[in-house]
Structure 1
Amino acid sequence: MPDTLKQSVIDAGKWIDQQGWCPATGGNFSVRIDAKHAWVTASGKHKGALTPEDLLQVDLKGVVIGSEKRPSAETLLHMALYGLDADIGAVLHTHSVSSTVLSRLVDGDVLTLRGYEMQKSLSGNTTHDAEAAIHVFDNTQDMPELAAQLHQRWLQRPLQWGFLVRGHGLYAWGRDMAEARRHLEGLEFLFACELEMIKLGQR
């Protein structure tokens, strides 16, 4: 099972790299192993050229098990998501142009998407008439602080599908890697549409 899980991260990395959503060595990915552990990408690795050795096993506190390599800087946020929702099985953090730019244009803490057929790519959405709320957090290098903010908002109302970090990028998740990839792709499309609407003066 672990080898299959690792391969799912490697395959996701190649696909995400092909979309241009993780330039240089940016971004980080993870997949849940069990209730207390996950595989997470090592720091400084290009996401289009990941190998099994680039996946580190960590516990829910972000402590690496059985390796001297350093995990990605945002590992703590991945582990926070796994701790907040036992149904989350994979997390993908990307740095696309659309998510990075749009996150800086959002006023307030929530981006509300409405009127798009592609909202149905997000689990639980069955119509374009629904509103999809994507939370936005201010960027910081203090991961414990950002994890604490995530926890606080989640307690008010569980987040769905993903969230944005201003000027930084997108975190998307799902019950497994396939759903996480679908949510990532759907959100990236929706963000690109929102940017086009802004360019046309419709927002």
Structure 2
Amino acid sequence: MEKVLILGAHGKIVQLTRAQLLAKTDAQLVLFLRKANRLTIQDQQREQLVEGDASQQVDLVQAMKGVTVVYANLAGANIETQAKAVVSAMKTAGVKRLIWISTLGIYDEVPGAYGQWNHQMLDDGYLPTYAAAAKVIETSGLAFTIIRPAWLSDKDEIDYEITHRADAFKGTEVSRKSVAAEVVRLIQNPTEAVGDSLGLNKPNTEGDKPEWYR
């Protein structure tokens, strides 16, 4: 049985992932966030709340006891620092499997007008820091998978396709529920996509920007 440490446990994608994990798996969940009082335990037998700072290795190591998978859905200007702390903590704790949420554009893999628009929207400190964090993960020696979602929507749907590290990115949007579904799939299949970086988009949404920006 998997024991999953979820970093950034208050996020929107995480809450959808959490619901799917509780419904579809028997995994134990360790919910890690800065202020634990923002969450309520839904399953007393399977969930544990841990308050901590994802940039502090000591907090992370303590939370990793018995953990088999780390799912990191982190954000912030210090995302590279957090990545380094997560990698170091996993090595100290002897945990190998990491699922890391990043963003599209970190490899300059988004083509055409959409790629230009994405740069305009995200170049102000966002893309460079997320790219640096991804490099930390890719050179870590861990059994990692990076997920790069397209621009996120709250649509109640699971509808996505995958591109890989060397592929051009495809569509402009994807639902948070779809990203959650892929995280759950990877947790259920821990040897799949190891060492890969997956782009996620909703099929047939190509264009110069997501529909809600047009």
TM-score, length-scaled by structure 1: 0.29
